[in-house]
Structures are given as structure tokens and as C-alpha cells.
Amino acid sequence: MRPCSTTTTLGSFDCDGVLWRGDHVIDGVVEVLNILRNRGKKLVFVTNNATKSRKSYKKKFDQVGLDVHVDEIYGSAYAAAVYISSVINLPRDKKVYVIGQAGLEEELHDEGIAFIGGTDPNDNTLAPFDLQNFTLDPSVAAVVCGLDTQVNYTKLSKAFQYLTRNPGCLFIATNEDSTFPSAHGLLPGAGSISAPLRFALGRDPVCTGKPASTMLDCVKAKVNFDPKRTIMVGDRLNTDILFGRNGGLATLLVMTGITTEGDITEPNASPIVPNFITESIGDFRAVEKVQSTA
Amino acid sequence: MRPCSTTTTLGSFDCDGVLWRGDHVIDGVVEVLNILRNRGKKLVFVTNNATKSRKSYKKKFDQVGLDVHVDEIYGSAYAAAVYISSVINLPRDKKVYVIGQAGLEEELHDEGIAFIGGTDPNDNTLAPFDLQNFTLDPSVAAVVCGLDTQVNYTKLSKAFQYLTRNPGCLFIATNEDSTFPSAHGLLPGAGSISAPLRFALGRDPVCTGKPASTMLDCVKAKVNFDPKRTIMVGDRLNTDILFGRNGGLATLLVMTGITTEGDITEPNASPIVPNFITESIGDFRAVEKVQSTA
């Protein structure tokens, strides 16, 4: 084991399936997060949920009894907003067309980015869309697409116009999750919402959520940490673990979420292999007990 | 030239961009179709339009002044219905979940296929979809997806449930057109409507429209013709011309639709090459004049 040092080390955690399941915190998580904080570890919570802003997402932590600060939460909507404001430096006279919900709009607003679409009632309609009644806004320089359960042909058609008719218009997706774990089962995820545009355009968006390293760039912009002293903890191989590997972090897979033992032991198992596997983050309570009685 | 014979030869025509543009018949088309009929050629009209039944689509022919019979029209919605009724022989106690419009429903009905979804007002809504309020119908054995400008998260979520929870549920798309030429410009096409399900499922549908040979199987089921004495006339390389080539037909590209001279002469031109190219079907009037004055 490497000796402890005073350098800040980072624990980066996925949330759903790692910290909680549905509305219930996973056994032992409260104690383990406290143990880590008491040892001076910096913690960040990284979620691909793009329907909630970080402020809204904090309420979920409160609800399950986890005490975290908004600044410790990194969502894919926030990452999209930071990417637009600080990576591509969208000029102030340009705006974004949104396919997404209020959380995405809130993050864009907080980063000072002008936008149209999103929750605008004019775009949340099943009325027929006719190009004859559409006026192209030449100041739209990007389309941002997140999970949007109000997605419809008007939004897709407008986004398609901007992406094909406004020169250089950027195509950004908060994340590529194919499915979304609702309280009562899987539903189509954010990747499915941007899929019609991918197909119509024949090109892929820039993604700001896990496993893309854009999300880690966003964390790096706010926290000074050493990737070599950082571990990513998650329940999904193709988002969390791949995200950690893409960023040069150590990775820990927990079995409290979507991945089953079969997924990692079967002959056709994913080629994405974590550095460590444990049943649950709660297991680390045992380490504290061993060390305190040693 | 091969001498004329009494065997029926077939001309297979795409419609939009070949016979008409918008609401206007292309110059000379009426005469050329008459010339072909007078010479005993069998004609069929093959369209990927899946929002209209053949009966409805005939009105478009009437409107531009082309005299055709409903049985000469083959649409991708009809091809999907024939595929379900006659190729996979869906048992009579099974049904189909539809993402699509009235034309697709009409073709399914005419082939005796039971269906749910489609234009049902309960599914044409932007109200939140909650799995808790959804009852899986175990008799749904296929999802059929066509162009649907009322597409929404409820339809996509229901289709996703059938495709993941009903064992062996088939995934069928009327066609894969990425875009759709509306009167005032391009909009996302039928392929964009099935794209969320492709992405969420990680698998592709069976497609019944051009360029898939399923469409030609549908024509074959109704018309006895020799592919070697058949020509496919179209304006799109990746649907019409590829369809002809896939089916072993001769192919003729016309320049009255979407393909430009640049598309076929530029260094990165499509690898799909037609046997013949002409400016317009109307050009064939000249052949008749030459032959009648010879």
C-alpha cells in the first residue's frame, strides 16, 4: 500500500445503483462517505441525469439522507453548459436550441447561455409542423439534446433545420445512455432522444456525459486533483467504468446496480474491465472497523 | 437491341422526383407512361411513403393527372402489412403495436392484421408516461414503425416494452429514409422515427421499403414478371437504384429529383451506380417520335 499523504485524493461516484436504489440509500453508504471525508478525501458525484440541474439533484441526496454540497455534484446537463460556455466559448450573441427539460435549461441559464426551445410551450406540441410557418433563427449556433420526455416532431424538425441550415451549428448531447432506469423499469434514455437527429444527419453529437472525457474536463475545471490518486466508483461498465478508464482513473465496480455477476463472467463478457470489484460501497465499513481495532 | 416479345416486361417507378415534383407532374411523363402501356409494358409505382395507404396515394396520382390503378401502387406501409400477413404469417390471435399514421393502419386492416397504438388518442399525447400505469399486452408480437409526425415518448416507451418484454417480438420498419422531402424542405424521415428504438435496443429493424428486397418480394407476390426484363426508374441512388440492383433489375437514374450531377461525378461519389442515366422520364417521348417517323 502507498502511504497516506496530505495531497487531496478524489473519490468519484456514480449515484443511482451505487449510493441509492430508487428512493432508498444503500446500506452503509452514509458511514462510508463519512469515513472518506474524515480521512480528507475529496468526493464528487457524477451523474448522467440531464433532466435535473445540480440544485434539483441535491434534493435527491437530501431525500435519501446523504449530506452533500451542490458543488460536489456534476451532472451531464451541467457538463454540457460548461462545455458550451468554457470549452467552445460560445459568443454572447449566439444561442442554443434545446431538446431537453427544465434542469438542462437551468444549467444553461446559470452559465449565461441564451437558449430557445426546451420547455417553451410552442415547441411542446403534437400539432403538425410545417416548414412554411418556421423562421430560422440565424443566431442559433448549437443544438443541445438531453433526455426529454416531451420530445416530438416539432422539436426534432426545428433542431434538424438548425443543424443543416445554420453553417457550423454544433450538435451536442448530454449523454448517450440507451436506457433510463425509471422507478418501475427501463425506458428509452437520452441517447434515444438524440438518435433521430444522428440518423437524419448521418453524424454523431459531441457527448458531455459519461463515458466521454468531456465530463472529467468539467470536474477538472473546478477541482484540482491527481488522476493517479482518484478512483471512479460505478455500477455500469459502459458508462462509469469506461469513463474512469478514459480519464486514467482507477475504477471500482459495485454490484448494487445494473451489472450482474453474469455480465462480467460470461464468455461474451464486456471487454471493459474494472480494476476492482466489490459487492457494495457499504463493504468499506469493514475496513474502518479492522483499522480501528488493529 | 433485343427484339420485342409478348412476355410482360415491367417498368418499376419511384414517384416523387420521378413522376412529379411537389404538386406538378414532370413534363412528358403522361405521354411516356401511355407509350409504355400501349407497348404492353406492365407498370408498377413503388414508394417509401408510409403515411398514406395505396388508396390514399392514388389521389396524389389523380391530382397531378396520372391515370393509374390502385393495384399498380406499392407503398412501404403495404409492404409491411404483406410482410406480416404473408411472409411471417402472424397468427390471427396476435397483434401489432403501431408507431405510424392512418395509412399504415389502413394497410394493416386491409390485410386482416389486428393492431393497437398508431392513431389511438391515448398514445398521441405529451402527458408523462409512467410504467406503473402501463399494462403489457402479451398478444403483441410485432412493433411496426413508419413515419409518424405524432411520435412521442409514450409511443416509444410502449414499443420499447413490447420489444424487450414480449418474447420474440419482431421489430419492423416501413423504411429507413433519413429525411422526408416536405413541400417546403427536408424534414426527419421514417428512419429517424425508428432510430430511438434502434438505439435503445441496440438492434436494427427488418425494413420493408426500398432498398430492401422485401418490397420487391411484395411486388412479386402480386405480379408475375421477369427481373431480367424489368427496369427500376428512380431519383435516389441509396434507395431506388440500390433497390433495383438488390433485386437484379436494370436501373435508370433520372435527374428530376434529389440526385445532382455532382453526386455522381465528384471524387467521393456514391459507389451505387445505375445502368442508365437520363435527364427526365419525359425524354422518352423523343424515342416514340423517332420510331413513328422512321
One-letter amino acid for residue B210 of the chain: K
- The average confidence (pLDDT) of chain B is 92
Q: Which residue does chain B place closest to A152, by CA atoms?
A: B152
Rounded distance, CA B37 to CA B8, Å?
A: 11
Q: Do B153 and A156 touch (CB under 8 A)?
A: no
One-letter amino acid for residue A94 of the chain: K
Give A171's strand partners. Answer: A143
Query: CB of B280 within 8 A of CB of B27?
Result: yes
pLDDT at residue A9, as a whole number: 78
Q: What are the backbone dihedrals phi and psi of residue A153, each rounded to the nearest 5 degrees, phi first? A: -70, -30
Rounded distance, CA A263 to CA A253, Å?
A: 12
The DSSP symbol for A124 reads S
Nearest-CA distance A97 → chain B (Å): 17
Place of cell 407503398: B75
pLDDT exceeds cutoff 80 at B229: yes
pLDDT at residue B23, as a whole number: 84
Give which of B204, B103, B86 is closest to A199, Cα–Cα: B204
pLDDT at residue B6, as a whole number: 42
Coil, strand or helix at B115: strand
Confidence grade of residue B223 (pLDDT, cut at 50, 70, 90)? confident
Q: Which residues of B touch A186 (CB under 8 A)?
A: 160, 164
pLDDT at residue A8, as a whole number: 59
pLDDT at residue B4, as a whole number: 36
Give B73's strand partners. Answer: B45
Q: Which residue does chain B place closest to A125, by CA atoms?
A: B126
User: What value does the mean pLDDT take over residues B73-81?
Assistant: 95
Q: What is the pLDDT of residues A264-288, one digit of tens each?
A: 888 888 899 999 999 999 999 987 7
Helix B29-38 with B285-293: angle, nearest 10 deg: 50
Q: Which residues of B touch A158 (CB under 8 A)?
A: none
Query: N- to C-terminal Cα distance for chain B?
Result: 16
Separation in Å, CA B36 to CA B29, B30, B248: 11, 10, 21
Give B232's strand partners. Answer: B12, B251
Q: Which of A130, A157, A188 faces B188 most closely, judged by CB atoms?
A: A157
Rounded distance, CA A101 to CA A106, Å?
A: 9
The DSSP symbol for A167 reads T
HSE-up of residue B240 (Cα within 13 Å, Cβ side): 31
Query: CB of A20 within 8 A of CB of A13?
Result: no
Q: How many CB pairs under 8 A join A and B?
A: 117
Rounded distance, CA B258 to CA B39, Å?
A: 29
pLDDT at residue A127, as a whole number: 96
Q: Which residues contact B58 (CB under 8 A, 6 or more apart)?
A: B68, B70, B73
Coil, strand or helix at B50: coil
pLDDT exceeds cutoff 60 at B2: no
User: What value does the mean pLDDT take over residues B73-99?
Assistant: 95
pLDDT at residue B268, as a whole number: 86
The DSSP symbol for A46 reads E
Q: Which of B128, B160, B199 faces A195 most closely, judged by CB atoms?
A: B199
Rounded distance, CA B14 to CA A33, Å?
A: 64
Give A253's strand partners. Answer: A234, A277
Rounded distance, CA A143 to CA A162, Å?
A: 7
Interface with A, mutate which of B149, B164, B203 (most A CBs under 10 A): B149
DSSP string, A173-215: ES---SEEEETTEEEE-HHHHHHHHHHHHTSPPEE-STTSHHH
Burial of A115-130, coded b for 16+ CB within 10 Å and e otherwise, reads bbbbeeeebbebeebe
Helix B190-201 with A190-201: angle, nearest 10 deg: 140
Query: N- to C-terminal Cα distance for chain A?
Result: 16
pLDDT exceeds cutoff 50 at B109: yes
Rounded distance, CA B278 to CA B45, Å?
A: 19
Separation in Å, CA B153 to CA A188, B26, B278: 8, 40, 44
pLDDT at residue B221, as a whole number: 82
Q: Do B160 and A187 touch (CB under 8 A)?
A: yes
| Mode of pairing for the β-strands spanning A10-13 and A230-234 | parallel
Q: What is the pLDDT of residues B170-209, one digit of tens each?
A: 999 999 999 988 889 999 999 999 999 999 999 999 999 9
10-residue averages of pLDDT along chain A (294 residues) = 50 93 92 94 94 93 95 95 92 97 96 97 97 97 98 98 98 94 91 97 96 90 89 94 96 94 88 95 83 63
Q: What are the backbone dihedrals phi and psi of residue A7, each rounded to the nearest 5 degrees, phi first? A: -60, 140
* CB atoms inside a 10 Å sphere around CB A171: 19
Place of cell 480494476: A275
Query: Per the annotation, does B110 bind a ligand?
Result: no
Confidence grade of residue B230 (pLDDT, cut at 50, 70, 90)? very high
Q: Which residues contact A230 (CB under 8 A, 6 or more apart)?
A: A9, A10, A11, A12, A249, A250
Query: Per the annotation, does A67 bind a ligand?
Result: no
pLDDT at residue A292, as a whole number: 65
Q: Which of B132, B151, B189 faces A200 most closely, judged by CB atoms?
A: B189
* CB atoms inside a 10 Å sphere around CB A93: 8
Place of cell 409494358: B41
User: What value does the mean pLDDT take over residues B77-88?
Assistant: 93
Sign of CA dihedral A75, A77, A80, A86: negative
pLDDT at residue B293, as a whole number: 64
User: What value does the mean pLDDT take over residues B101-129?
Assistant: 97
Q: What are the backbone dihedrals phi and psi of residue A12, each rounded to the nearest 5 degrees, phi first? A: -110, 120
Give which of B21, B83, B17, B26 is closest to B46, Cα–Cα: B17
Interface with A, mutate which of B145, B175, B199, B201 (most A CBs under 10 A): B199
How long, in residues, is chain A?
294
Nearest-CA distance B90 → chain A (Å): 27
Q: Which of B149, B178, B196 faces A153 most closely, judged by CB atoms?
A: B149
Rounded distance, CA B6 to CA B3, Å?
A: 10
Count helices and strands (H / E) in chain A: 10, 15
